[in-house]
Amino acid sequence: MKIFEKFLNIDRRIIFLLILLGVAIPLIWTLGFNLEVTENVQSVYTMLEKIEPGTRILISFDYDPSTKPEIQPMALALMQQAFTLRLRIIATALWPMGVQMCNEAFEKVSAEYPNIEYGVDFINLGYKSGGMVTINHMAKDFRSTFPADAGGNPIDEFPIMKGIKNFDKIGCVISLSAGDPGLKQWVMIVHDTFGKPVAGGTTAVQAPTMLPYVNEQQQLVGLLGGLKGAAEYELLINKPGFATKGMDAQSVAHLIIILFILIGNIGYFATRKQKDNLKA
């Protein structure tokens, strides 16, 4: 039984090292496991496919670099699909660093779509604080919430903003969200108050809390949860990227953690039995 006690008291830095290797090795030598698309991800894809070309959609970048590995691949995939479908994107941010995340994503995607023009097919309106209150204000008076784009240029100068006074002329809203304010607030205002379809991409931490909104009332049309959600979306648009590449590492790391849990529990029960015997 001493071996179990030894195992249970293993230096945590060994665990750290195993996790590091478990993630690093599959990144170098990929294993190529199968990837399956889930219903919630498919729903987001189908929603965009059904929107008429030329329609304006709103994507809100409600995250920062701390969750970039999970959410940026979603942003890239969604923008690629939208531009392929000739949808026009109005970008906003409820998190200040979302502005830069949006700029980085647009720079990367626009290189693949040379015909996309800023102000015509895409606009970055920048950051606004205030969360839910500001979204509600946007729905009543979009132009006074966003009098200018992120560069300070009046929005009247841009053809993409023509006729936008509220959410009426916006096909759908997609919030890429890492917390609060984010997807929850968009659902509460845009869908539940003004009846527009809302979809989202969130960190895996946030995904379970958002699932009750994916219901028959379609408070949320669909949800991309974490890196796996992003990888599934890359599969749908047939453009494998960072998320797809990371799936093998994710799998191996999960396996290692499950093994830790198993060993920990075996050790726990073995030592407990021994202690019970000693007491008896």
Partner 1 sequence: MAILMDRIGIWIGVFLTFAIFSFLYKDNPFYKIAEQIFIGISAGYWFIYTIYNILIPNLFIPVTSDFTHNFILLIPAFLGILMLCRLIPSIDWVSRYALAVVIGTTAGLFFKRYLQSDVLNQLTATMLNPFASSNAVQIIGELILIIGTLTGIVYFFFSKKHEGAFGTTAKIGIYFLMVSFGAAFGYTVMARISLLIGRLNFLLGDWLGIIKP
Partner 2 sequence: MLITFLVGALIIVSEFIPHKPFNNLSTSLEGWFLIISGFAIILGQLSLFKVNIIKIHRKAPNWPYFIIALVSFSVMVICGILWGTQQQPGLIPVSDKMLNFFGVKPFDYIFKYLFENLSATMFSLLAFFMASASYRAFRARSPESTLLLIAAVLVMLGRTTIGSTLTGWIPESLGFLHLPNIASFIMKYPNTAGQRAIMICAGLGVIGSSLRIILGIERSYLGGK
The binder of 103, among partner 1, partner 2, none, by C-beta within 5 to 8 A per type, is partner 2
What tokens does 212 get? 């009750």
Distance CA 227, CA 244 (A): 8
Residue 88 in the binding site for partner 2 (CB under 8 A)? no
Residue 216 in the binding site for partner 1 (CB under 8 A)? yes
Distance CA 257, CA 55 (A): 45
Smallest separation (angstroms) from partner 2 to the CB of 82: 21
x/- letters, 173..212, toward partner 1 (CB under 8 A): --------------xxx--xx---------xxx-xxx--x
| Cβ proximity to partner 2, 85 vs 97, nearer residue | 97
Among residues 2, 13, 36, 279, which is the contact residue for partner 1, using CB under 8 A? Answer: 13
**Tally of CB atoms within 10 A around 120:** 12
Residue 166 in the binding site for partner 2 (CB under 8 A)? no
SS3 169: coil
Residue 89 in the binding site for partner 2 (CB under 8 A)? no
Distance CA 268, CA 15 (A): 17
Among residues 68, 88, 191, 196, which is the contact residue for partner 2, using CB under 8 A? Answer: 68
Q: Do 157 and 52 meet the contact criterion of CB atoms below 8 Å apart? A: no
Q: Do 8 and 203 meet the contact criterion of CB atoms below 8 Å apart? A: no
Query: Which DSSP string corresponds to 218-243?
Result: -SSS-EEEHHHHHHHHHHHTT---HH
Q: Which residues here bind partner 2, judged by CB under 8 A?
A: 8, 10, 12, 15-16, 18-20, 23, 33-36, 38-39, 64-69, 100, 103, 124, 126, 128-130, 133-134, 136-137, 140-141, 144-145, 149-152, 204, 208-209, 211-212, 226, 228, 247-248, 250-258, 260-261, 263-265, 268
